[in-house]
Chain A
């Protein structure tokens, strides 16, 4: 009996030490930096695979999820968002600026008057779940064509209205970024419609990004401003997105 409990103590002790050791190793900054190279490998491997710019799989209306789980912010509580929501986005304008030849802004009516694309795609959350939904919106390439990208533009940044970290200042505001490879993909759209109706507030009204071929956290909701930049370093946490600033990969193709 004593032997057993002593053995139990010893195994628990060794197990605990191993776990503590494991955790110390995984949280060491040098180890973390080394491990992070997986992203470069995955990014370059997938860019080779996607060199022909294939479309993400599209589904039939019958395949749409009965309930599309809304995630992240369900209703931004900032004063600015409450104000544009109050008049049903009638006075809201999408700003497109940064490294462009002609900065412009667009009302929701102007966006809806532009040629649109509708696609039924699968939304894959980083957590592991998937939902299928239909999206209608303006191809991002059309907007970028209107404002004209300057040659030094390399990334497109999406500034959002939701204060996900409820930080009180702007540091918790959601934002995302993609490079030009994805920005000019035909399925990269700014959606104002979902499953045949208007885009619900819980899914990012008035406008959300759809960048199919990447995970859910890239699909920025409540997009207020689109900015062309040459690097991501100076923006917010510097990693190119809200979740990227909190440890997730910038390239979310896996």
Chain B
């Protein structure tokens, strides 16, 4: 009886291995991990040379910043790190404005040494690294776009379909994310709509915006392409948007890593290294 039943309905495989990420996606992804980390760290070192942000064409010590990392009482018994944002003041002693160097001495400086490249105030070296890495970042990004368009990755995997962007589907995806419910079976073979929209925002908006706002700060590029500066509302605005966009990318990376852990850390990391991804089939 049991034998017959088993013959009539052979058990479905509980898991299926699919080839999820192409070599191009995996390579450009990990190159980006390295480049963006170092770009961020060298960028923070550059920011430390003038840890204030302004809106408009100009902005210097006598003008009004909307964001500032500062210090107070250095040399007294109670030195403080102070972060000012849009008129609000926050005590950020130990991290922003005032932090300790490797030897344990207080250092009045925007971002702490452990977050910057190089790990000490060195604008000249940080700039060299930042611009060198920026070239690699542009080349790596261009390779990703080119391959992604040619092999259909962007259209097939990233661009949301008409069905994806139906309000009901988006709402269901939001609820699934809140419930930490991850898709199984056929559904798990594709990105969900929130995933697609997020990746799209990063690939098409945030990462290119970093390059373009960065170029806008260059006085040479400004002379050649002055409409870029007008587009962002001035050089200091472009600098502020560069900083805000960098923060949004850091925010994306944090959410991305949290999701990797929630969705199954080994499976996700393996799929980004070997390309192979295990999906659970429905009903098991």
Contacts and interface: CB of A to CB of B under 8 A. Distances in A.
Interface of A: 15-16, 19, 22-23, 26-27, 32, 35-39, 41-42, 46, 49-50, 54-57, 59, 63, 65-69, 122, 124-132, 212-215, 243, 246-249, 253-254
Given A22-B117, A36-B128, A249-B128, A129 B220 contact: no
Interface of B: 46-47, 49-50, 52, 57-63, 102, 113-114, 117-120, 122-125, 127-129, 131-132, 134-135, 217-226, 229, 235-236, 239
A252 B170 CA distance: 48
**Does more than half of chain B's interface fall in helix, strand or loop, or is it mixed?**
helix
Nearest to A246: B124
Given A22-B119, A129-B50, A132-B58, A66 B63 contact: yes
Nearest to A53: B223
**Does more than half of chain A's interface fall in helix, strand or loop, or is it mixed?**
loop
27 contacts: A19-B119, A22-B117, A35-B132, A38-B135, A50-B224, A56-B219, A59-B57, A63-B57, A65-B58, A66-B63, A69-B61, A122-B58, A122-B235, A126-B49, A127-B49, A130-B58, A130-B59, A130-B60, A131-B58, A132-B58, A212-B219, A213-B220, A214-B220, A215-B219, A243-B124, A248-B124, A248-B127
Contacts of A215: 219
Contact of B127 (A32, A46, A57, A126): A126
Contacts of A214: 219-220
B46 A128 contact: yes
Nearest to A18: B114
Nearest to B65: A129
A55 B102 CA distance: 46
Contacts of B61: 69, 129
B127 A212 contact: no
A65 B64 CA distance: 12
A213 B223 contact: yes
Which 9 pairs between the two chains have the least Cβ-Cβ distance? Answer: A253-B220, A247-B124, A67-B62, A38-B132, A128-B50, A129-B60, A49-B224, A254-B218, A127-B49
A50 B63 contact: no
B118 A23 contact: yes
B43 to A, nearest CB: 11
A57 B222 contact: yes
B128 A254 contact: no
Given A67-B62, A125-B50, A27 B118 contact: yes
A67 B58 CA distance: 11
